[in-house]
A and B are shown apart, each in its own frame.
Chain A
Amino acid sequence: MRIFDPHIHMTSRTTDDYQAMYAAGVRAVVEPAFWLGQPRTHPASFFDYFDALLGWEPFRAAQYGIAHHCTIALNPKEAGDPRCLPVLDELPRYLVKDGVVAVGEIGYDSMTPAEDTALATQLQLAADHELPALVHTPHRDKAAGLTRTLDLVRESSLPIERVLIDHLNETTVDAATDSGCWRGFSIYPDTKMDPARMVALLRSHGTERVLVNSAADWGRSDPLTPRQVGEAMLAAGFTEDEVDLVLWRNPVEFYGLSGRLDLSVAEPLSGTHEGNSILRGGE
């Protein structure tokens, strides 16, 4: 089972996690730029962090045979802090980097005017740089947040087919499906979505344009939940090919929209998959 986790915050995970992920079949990850726990108060804090997403973290991942790419953005939470807004001006020089496969995570946290501006600005940056966008739906007032998000995407010049809307659940999946966006689901141990519910959603809403991630970060989360979803799918009667579509080919296709996916670092799986041809990224 080859796995591409399309949303995981490796900065907050130990090297033991990389080992366990590799053993579970993870061969590629995308790490979205996000908050660190302790709020940042200077733009320079972001730049060192972005540099880490383009330097140290891909290096750490490569030590374990995992290809690491990132998304870059001013995240929803810190977009509300005026001290952090100058970060938006520096984004263009990051968005041209080889290792950046999308603008993200962007979206709403508390639904403020400042967040409106940051979201609109960054959707435009994605369009300008021919990158897709990773959009986070808020944890509070989620359905309303999704509606407002979709409105802003439609107002932007970024086509909805190049937008991944993440952290979806039963109350938001229909609106997301109708919009034509890519649909992201985050599987946490206790809260949000779990493997059984995910399998039910795959049954009712299909496997096309679906991405499953662990969104593992500082909180109680588990980088191995995508594997659990794969196993739950097989147990529920989905085929190996369907599992591979959801856990590998869909993330490759979505992030391949950037034209920058380079999976050559990813070590081939032992056993059933041989050779490097399966690891070539989408263009």
Chain B
Amino acid sequence: MRKISKETGLSSDYAFLIAKGLLKQRLIKKIANDVFILTNSGRLLLGRLRDNSERKKVPTLIEVSRSFDREVEPPSFDPEIHFISPEAIPSGCYGAGREFTANQLYPIEHNLGKGQITEKADARSIQKSLKRLIFASRKRPARNA
């Protein structure tokens, strides 16, 4: 854990995410204790928890087998939080004791609706930019000699 803390800069608060694309790309095998950790600094780690039978009160990340840094762009993923194997993730272990589960409470009611138009501007203010950008993207025809 000390190694993980040092590497990630995290002490006790981290989030778990499944990067489905990584599974599809066969970059990892679907093993019950495989977990993904998205660090606060935005790096994606693939690690393994201590085996269920050995786990006591606090889960221990015993191995970081892959680290997806900036040079490997993670695939786009659903911002909702899921788990590969729910039994691998014990409850009440993270920082303030929050549980990251697939049943995390999401907003069930709101009155936001479609945002009101708060300001307007004359579209002529962007016409010049549009013309130059759109014109620049068109290929010029070759001139005759």
Do these two chains really belong together in a complex? no
- Interface residues, chain B, with chain A CB atoms under 8 Å away: none
